[in-house]
């Protein structure tokens, strides 16, 4: 049967494409006795070999990375540039749109009181942080954060000094304890409590508060003095079964933070016929032994160890210079991060080709939405120290290296076009904090 000119043209084109198709890209030879994965043709370009390391410090930071970018010839805020080199000159791997994931407490409005101060972070300043909000608070020795309660849970980490906390539960059982650096307290929603710095340290105390709602505002606290100041005096007298004259010196407005004599170091909760709370509102996290890894340490607290804290779980992590918190993600919960010391670098992978890199210093808040892949790299010369905090009762994370190590090797090698030797570097146990690669 005679063939049409169109058929002949089609055959010619197929021959051209066949000769132009890329050859299969060979993998490194498999180790002796091992089974090698399939060797597929490359369907996309190979990864760029530029390491995209953090830019070295310079007297004047410029938005230049390799051959990309140019210098600034207009106004510039160099102190901000120095703290955020990966925003000024992003790695070439950054792409797309990822919202801001950094808020320095230094940019928060500070509420100054006689005896202390408080500054907060919530969605008003960090819109991404919808699941949690934070407050950094300072009390001089003896100063009191007055009796109050919240609609949200309150989780706290003591940064410096000692703080005495008091509370009662709905059953009328009471509680009193003193916590020191690295220790925690937690009050469920609606539980009335107070905070007072002791004189164990002449400086009093400073602590971090975390609330399980990004809309939380410290200015919306239910305060004892605020409530009484807005209740008729006759009603107060009737409620407490006293004459009105006995209440005429009540404050006309909230106290919030006020000075007072330091509590005694051996203070105990008032005797109570109903007894003390069954689950303590404090936890000696400072006494929990951290797990040592090749690049640092980590320890976890959740309801498995601190039973009352059923909406907040946390990890305290240290990363040595040159090391990193391994590539990982948290399956269902956002991460609210607070940096206690050192300098860190984090890249958020938001799927669909979107990623962005941020730099953090002590006093900064970071935020990682649920399931975003990320790492935390120490880019300074001292130990990086931070808290990972989650709105959940149990800590969870997924390790990239462990996932790959526990997936059939042939499947992983077909994806990544790596050798058996490279695959064998993936670890079947979580490394958590990975040290620098040995030469």
Q: Which positions ≥6 away from 178 have C-beta within 8 Å?
A: 162, 163, 164, 165, 198, 200, 265, 267
**Residue 230 annotated as part of some ligand binding site:** no
- Is 385 marked within a binding site? no
Residue 264 burial (10 A CB sphere; 0-12, 13-18, 19+): exposed
Measured CA to CA, the distance from residue 168 to residue 389 in angstroms comes to: 25
Give the integer Cα–Cα distance in Å for 12 and 6: 10
Catalytic residue among 146, 320, 388, 410: 388
Q: Please indicate if the annotation marks 193 as binding a ligand.
A: yes
410 assigned to active site: no
DSSP label at residue 386:
E
Is 150 marked as binding a ligand? yes
- Give, as one character, the DSSP assignment of residue 201: S
Residue 415 marked in a binding site: no
Query: What are the structure tokens assigned to 22, written together?
Result: 């890329």
- Candidates 109, 105, 190, 121; CA nearest to 150 is 190
- How far apart are alpha carbons 158 and 68 in whole angstroms? 44
Length of the chain: 439
Kindly list the strands in the beta sheet with 296-301, ordered across the sheet, starting from the edge strand earlier in the chain.
102-104, 364-368, 335-341, 384-390, 313-319, 296-301, 291-293
154 carries a ligand binding annotation: yes
Cα–Cα distance, 51 to 70 (Å, whole number)? 20
Is 374 annotated as contributing to ligand binding?
yes
Which residues are catalytically annotated?
A: 388
Which amino acids are annotated as binding site for Mn(2+), given as ranges? 148, 150, 154, 193, 328, 330, 335, 374
């Amino acid at each position: 049967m005679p063939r049409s000119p169109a058929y002949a043209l089609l055959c010619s084109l197929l021959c051209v494409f066949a000769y132009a198709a890329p050859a299969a890209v060979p993998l490194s030879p498999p180790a002796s006795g091992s089974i090698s994965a399939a060797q597929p043709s490359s369907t996309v370009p190979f990864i760029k070999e530029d390491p995209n390391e953090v830019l070295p410090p310079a007297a004047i930071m410029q938005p230049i990375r390799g051959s990309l970018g140019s210098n600034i010839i207009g106004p510039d805020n160099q102190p901000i540039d120095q703290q955020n080199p990966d925003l000024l000159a992003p790695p070439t791997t950054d792409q797309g749109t990822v919202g801001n994931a950094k808020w320095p407490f230094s940019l928060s409005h500070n509420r100054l009181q006689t005896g202390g101060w408080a500054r907060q972070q919530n969605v008003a300043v960090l819109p991404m942080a919808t699941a949690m909000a934070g407050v950094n608070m300072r009390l001089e020795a003896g100063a009191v954060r007055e009796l109050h309660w919240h609609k949200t849970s309150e989780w706290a980490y003591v940064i410096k000094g000692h703080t005495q906390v008091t509370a009662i539960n709905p059953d009328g059982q009471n509680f009193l304890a003193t916590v020191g650096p690295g220790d925690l307290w937690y009050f469920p929603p609606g539980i009335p409590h107070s905070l007072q710095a002791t004189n164990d340290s002449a400086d009093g105390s400073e602590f971090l508060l975390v609330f399980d709602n990004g809309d939380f505002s410290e200015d919306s606290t239910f305060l004892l003095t605020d409530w009484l100041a807005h209740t008729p005096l006759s009603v107060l007298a009737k409620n407490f079964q006293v004459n009105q004259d006995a209440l005429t010196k009540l404050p006309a407005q909230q106290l919030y933070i006020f000075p007072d004599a330091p509590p005694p170091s051996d203070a105990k909760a008032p005797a109570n016929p109903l007894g003390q709370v069954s689950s303590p509102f404090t936890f000696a996290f400072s006494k929990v032994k951290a797990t040592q890894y090749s690049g640092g340490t980590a320890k976890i607290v959740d309801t498995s160890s601190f039973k009352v804290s059923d909406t907040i779980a946390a990890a305290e992590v240290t990363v040595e210079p040159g090391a990193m918190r391994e590539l990982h993600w948290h399956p269902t919960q956002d991460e609210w991060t607070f940096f206690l010391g050192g300098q860190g670098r984090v890249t958020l992978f938001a799927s669909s080709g979107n990623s962005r890199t941020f730099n953090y210093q002590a006093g900064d808040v970071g935020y990682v939405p649920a399931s975003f892949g990320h790492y935390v790299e120490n880019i300074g010369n001292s130990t990086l120290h931070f808290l990972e905090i989650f709105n959940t009762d149990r800590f969870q994370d997924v390790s990239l290296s462990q996932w790959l190590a526990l997936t059939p090797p042939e499947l992983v090698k077909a994806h990544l076009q790596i050798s058996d030797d490279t695959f064998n570097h993936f670890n079947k146990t979580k490394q958590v904090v990975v040290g620098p690669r040995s030469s």
